[in-house]
Amino acid sequence: MQTIDQAGTFKLGSRTVKRLGYGAMQLAGPGVFGPPKDPDAAFAVLREAAALGVNHIDTSDFYGPHIVNQLIREALSPYPDELVIVTKVGARRGEDGSWLPAATPDELRRAVHDNLRNLGLDALDAVNMRFWGDEGHGPAEGPVEPQLAVLAELQREGVVRHIGLSNVTAAQVKEARQIVEVVCVQNQYNLAHRGDDAMVDILAEEGIAYVPFFPLGGFSPLQSATLSRVAERLEATAMQVALAWLLQRSPNILLIPGTSSVAHLRENAAAASLVLPEDAVAELDGIAVVEPAE
């Protein structure tokens, strides 16, 4: 059985986690809505992740909704001491499966307590405040104090241990750090979309984790072809190479690739031991989208 490199760790607040974790979003039904077709397969993925040594699981009670957290509880509870479960709030699901903002004080409090109940926890290791940004897509400027003030209250009450941010700009991160201690930032970032390059480096200097999502999101056909060519040369999959590039990009990057397949989970785990040679890194760096100057 492939196990994740024990040396690849980073701080997530007061906890230390392995840099290759697991994102549970894909355990829900199509569109991250409703139950999985095969609950037994979902349980198998979660238990295999634990067997591989994963100790960082990313989830949310709006996956399903509720269902993914309930699967995690049934598969892994009682939780091992080393397991860190990170969740997020700031959205809800419509009856048609639509994604809707949910960031009023009452909605945020209810979301935290829903996560606690469905995960079977007395306190959440970390809660990411997911900002709606550009109609739920990319980040957009706007105040963060109203939402973070609520999470800070919940932190003082002892039901939230650490606070993170999701879908935010550099200015919002700066503002947030004046309000609460930020332990992680979760944004879209991969070898083709590198608008957060400067943010990754600044957070690394501050000892703050950066958690990219969509490691293969938004690639053009040409970019995908380059990635596939490098992967073939290295006798690896495109996903393994994309994950390995992120791991080599900066020591504060924590990965949460998601899958509903045990086979794919094992393939992703192998990325922790894949070292990209300099020529491969240079070729991959060449496919990055050039971000417009501000």
95, two tokens:
């009856």
The amino acid at 267: E
The sign of the dihedral angle between the CA atoms of 76, 80, 81, 82 is negative
As a whole number of angstroms, the longest Cα–Cα distance in the chain is 53
Pick from 5, 25, 9, 52: which is nearest to 265 by CA?
52
22, 63, 189, 210: the catalytic one is 63
Are the C-beta atoms of residues 216 and 242 closer than 8 Å to each other?
A: yes
Query: CA–CA separation, 178 vs 263, rounded Å?
Result: 43
Residue burial 133-143, b: 16+ Cβ < 10 Å; e: rest:
beeeeebeeee
Amino acid letter, residue 220:
S
122 in Cβ contact with 115 (< 8 Å): no
> What is the distance between the alpha carbons of residues 235 and 195, in angstroms, rounded to a whole number?
29
User: Are residues 252 and 208 in contact, defined by beta-carbon separation less than 8 angstroms?
Assistant: yes
Tally: H helices and E strands in the chain: 10, 11
> SS in 3 state form for 156-206?
HHCCEEEEEEECCCHHHHHHHHCCCCEEEEEEECCCCCCCCHHHHHHHHHH
Catalytic residue status for 63: yes
Which token pair is 61?
């009670």
Please report, as a single letter, which amino acid is at residue 82. Answer: E
* 8 Å CB contact between 87 and 61: yes
Grouping H, G, I as helix, E, B as strand and the rest as coil, residue 181 is coil
Provide the annotated active-site residues: 63
